[in-house]
Amino acid sequence: MTTPVNPTPADAAAALLAANRRRRSIRRRLAIGTLPLTLAALLLTGKLLSMYAFAHQSVSSFLVGGYAESEDAARALDILNWFETFKAPYDIGTALAGADRLPEARAELERALPDAAGLDVCYVRINLSLVIERQGDAAQAEGDGARAAELYGQALQITVETPEECRSEDARNQSPDPNRDMSDTLDENRQRQQQKQQQNGQAPEPRPDRSAQEPQDQPSQSDLDDIEKKLGEGAQEREDLLGGSDGDGGGTDRPW
């Protein structure tokens, strides 16, 4: 029977080095294979953390009137916008509305609306409606009553088509502004926008010209005073409805 020969120290060292090389090779292959997953996890974590940071910065800046800062933070949200994709354009549009950049604000809110789902639709619709109403205020201030009436009609349609769920308790709890009731806001917006549309859409009824047919009686001073009073009352009613000229957006509610 042959007795086995014990390995020499050199053989043992060589075997150990070979085993170590195999282990390093396996670890290297595993590292290379899992690198994409590791990078994806790091990217995902960074995106989630930045979402909360930028969203908080956008909201806090908006509340103190820093609309440019709010817009910048919201645009940072729009980078790699994979989660709740409506929020970045919603925040951008709201910040632009605060800065009275109404056409740009409307475009961003219209971009947000198709991506919003469930109760998120509520405040996107409310802000979009308010922005269009403020566009109507601007047209009315420029003397373009027909354009103003058209814009008020568009704002009213968005308000009317807001889902009934937006008046629920859950909607109130999810409101971006806890100090404002969503149901009350929708009712107020509907009434105000309807009044503005009707007022700008009314044209004076045409009357036949009788000046060439028969002489007209000259009005008395009391008649003139009465007419002037009524005109003054009408102007005051219009100013009250449209919010006067105090710079608050023509009597339109501020964005949420």
Domains within the chain, CATH numbers bracketed: 117-201 (1.20.58)
How confident is the model at residue 7, as a pLDDT?
63
Instruction: Give pLDDT tens digits for 137-181.
Output: 999 999 999 999 999 999 999 999 999 999 998 988 887 777 788
CA torsion, points 119, 123, 129, 135, in degrees to nearest 10? -160
- Distance (Å, rounded) from C-alpha 100 to C-alpha 110? 16
Structure confidence at residue 28 as a pLDDT band (50, 70, 90) = confident
Would you say 196 and 189 are in contact if contact means Cβ atoms under 8 Å apart? no
Structure confidence at residue 233 as a pLDDT band (50, 70, 90) = very low
Q: Looking only at Cα atoms, what is the longest distance across the chain?
A: 149
Cα–Cα distances in Å, from 77 out to 63, 177, 183?
A: 18, 20, 29
Global pTM reads 0.63
Instruction: Give pLDDT tens digits for 86-127.
Output: 988 999 999 999 999 999 999 999 999 999 999 999 999 999
